[in-house]
Chains A and B, each alone.
Chain A
Amino acid sequence: MDALVVRDFHKSYGKHVGVDGISFNVKHGEIFGLIGPNGAGKTTTLRVLSTLLTVTSGDLVVYGKSVVKEPNEVRRIISYLPEDAGAYKNLTGRQYLDFIASFFANGEDRRKMVVRGIEISGLNERIDSKVDTYSKGMTRRLLISRAIMTNPRFAILDEVTSGLDVVNASEIRQIIKEMARSGVTILLSSHNMFEVEHLCDRVALINKGKIVAEGTPSDLKRRYNTTNLEDVFTKVVKG
């Protein structure tokens, strides 16, 4: 079953072409990696998929819902974690999770959602501190817990471990794996090839707005005769 179907998707900013007609599918429960150099069109794709930007042409369909025709329906299915995302600094971690939960549930369900978010965040007693006092790692954990606690069917994660230390990054990768095991489909973008190789079931390599390679990490390594995904990336991008 396809969780995401992208068909001939184009996105332009005036004369600048951001994404130049890409097509790919993501299966239900899969962790799919979108990798590529800066400005290749990864974040644009994720933002369009998250209904933040409009489509120039083509379509992206999430669990049968079109981002062009049914953006409100798509927003009920997805959870998007942007790169360097922040939380409201005047709220405590708990208040922030409760604010987000209020859009997805009411009463006891809402309370349970917040409890789950607190568990995922691992922030313990610091959950009642203001977000303003959190380290980057703590904020990222809070945001990931926010993205997961709502039980999304489709999670979109942009540079999810960017700027985190080794321990925090490792813990977050573990959380993502658990998400996928629980049936959440994940589309992630990352510059960290180790992370992509470690997490993703399949990968699409995007360069200058076009998908130039697609497959499982082991397929790609075999196809380009390399021992790691980083070398695949370098070979494909440098031609």
Chain B
Amino acid sequence: MSHILSLIKKELRELLTPATILPIVIVALLFASLGGLTGGAVEDALTAPPKIAMVNMDDGDFSQIYLDVLADFDDPLVFYSSEESDIEAALAEMKAEGAMATIVIGSDYSSTIENGSRANITIYWNMVGAGMFSSMSTAPVDMMIINVSTQTTHKLIESGMPGEDSGIITSPISYESTTFLGDKELVGVGPAEVSAFLQGQSFMMPLLIMIVIVMLGGIIISSMGQEKENKTLETLLTLPVSRTTIVSGKLIGSAIVGLIFAGVYMLGMNYYMEGLMSMAQDMELAELKLGITETAIVGLMVALAILCALGLCMILGAFAKNYKAAQSLTIPISFLAVIPFFVVMFTDFVNLPLMAQVVLFIIPFTHPMMAMNNMIMGNYELVYYGIAYLVAFNLATVMVTVRLYKSDILLTGLATTLSGGPLGRLMRKR
């Protein structure tokens, strides 16, 4: 029994190290914070009061129900008019005020219901983001329409003028949707359909980037660890070439591998996108498909992000004393890829608090992940800033890597080097 206990203790000591415990704790914290973030976003979306613009050309009793329902909320109307000519003004006000929708009620609304037919209204939806929860921001308007529909049914029954069609009595209102997303106007499409379509399209790119970075990070850092463990690095560093050449060679070689990975994944993704687009070909949604220029921009950002990942891997790899140590150093890279993936999937950069925006902007992998949605939303400035940041990040990582390759840290490790105190020694130029 004591033998097995000794073995178990030995295994636990080997397996439960800070390098294995820390990732589990961080993942748990990450999911908890994401749960809080997304849960809060859903709750906020569902409990928010409706905020709408309205053009009501009907002077009958049934359109009054809308105003009665809205009277339960504080200042829900950002614009109200009874003139058809004011629809454009209502839409402008909706966008300016960030309201959820503009409801247009025709002049024959009440009479249509009184005649036993289903009345039709037009709703112009204002989508403020392209994330998974973006369509939820319009949920209060959906709930308001359901409430109006229910009260209309009650009024029909109470007033003793039910028509012959029970379906119309229980559902007396129908609506046509037009959705505004960025500078795009999608006629005949509701926010839920837009959101579902965007998720199908924009979910794949962050997923692809995350997979490539996590895989590539593991390969590059492990290869650095292997160079040290197999003692090939020392030979490499004594060859008659500059450290800049060695760093560049490693970066370019790894980048080629990374781009091949990304290319293979993108090929698979292309088939997926073609399938998605063939379904949407005749629909207004096809307008959301990226053009050649936008696709090239995304491709450029993916390539830059891969180079950033490689630069970070080479910096981290410099601290890996062997293969095992190298594997635990892949964890930070994985986190940097996973965090923006989840955030971009659920919500939009522009809708995040400032601090979260700053943190996400600093993570280089965020930029290609959100580029697609940003371009769809017309936020090109954010895309261009992202490209500039990625270029600057790459230059900085190359400079740091060359410095590391010129310092003792590559062979002596971090602990030995820092025991001297001054970081200047760490970065002492050869």
Contacts and interface: CB of A to CB of B under 8 A. Distances in A.
B160 interface: no
Contacts of B412: 13, 53
Interface stretch (A86-94, A171-179, A225-233): A86-94
Nearest to A146: B235
Interface in B180-233: 230-232
B234 interface: yes
Interface stretch (A68-76, A186-194, A200-208, A209-217): A68-76
Contacts of A47: 234, 411
A86 B232 contact: yes
Contacts of A14: 416-421
A11 to B, nearest CB: 9
Contact of A50 (B232, B238, B417, B421): B238
Nearest to A48: B408
A89 B238 contact: no
Interface string A23-56: 0000000000000000000000001001111100
Contact of B238 (A15, A80, A104): A80
Nearest to A84: B231
A56 to B, nearest CB: 9
Interface string A94-135: 000000100110000000000000000000000000000000
A100 B417 CA distance: 30
A82 interface: yes
A12 B428 contact: no
A157 interface: no
B238 A13 contact: no
Nearest to B413: A13
B234 A85 contact: yes
B407 A82 contact: no
Contacts of A79: 238
Contact of B239 (A54, A86, A87, A100): A100
Nearest to B232: A86
Nearest to B242: A72
A51 B420 contact: no
B10 interface: no
Given A51-B238, A51-B430, A53-B411, A85 B232 contact: yes
B417 A87 contact: no
A50 B233 CA distance: 13
A19 interface: no
A103 B235 contact: no
B359 interface: no
| Size bracket of the B interface | 20 to 34
Interface string B123-154: 00000000000000000000000000000000
A54 B240 CA distance: 17
A103 B238 contact: no
Contacts of A78: 238
Contacts of B235: 80, 82, 85, 100, 143, 146
Contacts of B418: 14
A80 B430 contact: no
A97 to B, nearest CB: 12
A84 B322 CA distance: 14
A15 B234 contact: no
B96 interface: no
A16 interface: yes
B246 to A, nearest CB: 10
B408 A53 contact: yes
B5 interface: no
**Most chain B CB inside 10 Å of its own CB: which residue of A52, A53, A71, A85:** A52
A82 B420 CA distance: 25
B355 interface: no
A153 B421 CA distance: 37
A12 B420 contact: yes
A15 B419 contact: yes
A13 B421 CA distance: 10
A85 B419 CA distance: 27
Contact of B240 (A16, A53, A75, A88): A75
B241 interface: yes
B338 to A, nearest CB: 31
Nearest to A75: B240
Contacts of B421: 14
A103 B242 CA distance: 11
Interface string B402-430: 00000110011000111111000000101
Interface of A: 12-16, 47, 50-54, 71-72, 75-76, 78-80, 82, 84-89, 100, 103-104, 143, 146
Given A50-B238, A75-B238, A85-B234, 16 more contacts: A12-B420, A13-B419, A13-B420, A14-B419, A14-B420, A15-B419, A15-B420, A52-B234, A52-B238, A53-B408, A71-B430, A80-B234, A85-B232, A86-B231, A100-B239, A103-B240
Interface of B: 230-232, 234-235, 237-242, 407-408, 411-412, 416-421, 428, 430
20 contacts: A13-B417, A14-B418, A14-B421, A50-B238, A51-B237, A51-B238, A52-B237, A53-B411, A54-B428, A54-B430, A71-B430, A75-B238, A79-B238, A80-B235, A84-B231, A85-B232, A85-B234, A85-B235, A100-B239, A143-B235
Give the top 4 A-B pairs by smallest Cβ distance, nearest first: A14-B419, A14-B420, A86-B230, A76-B240
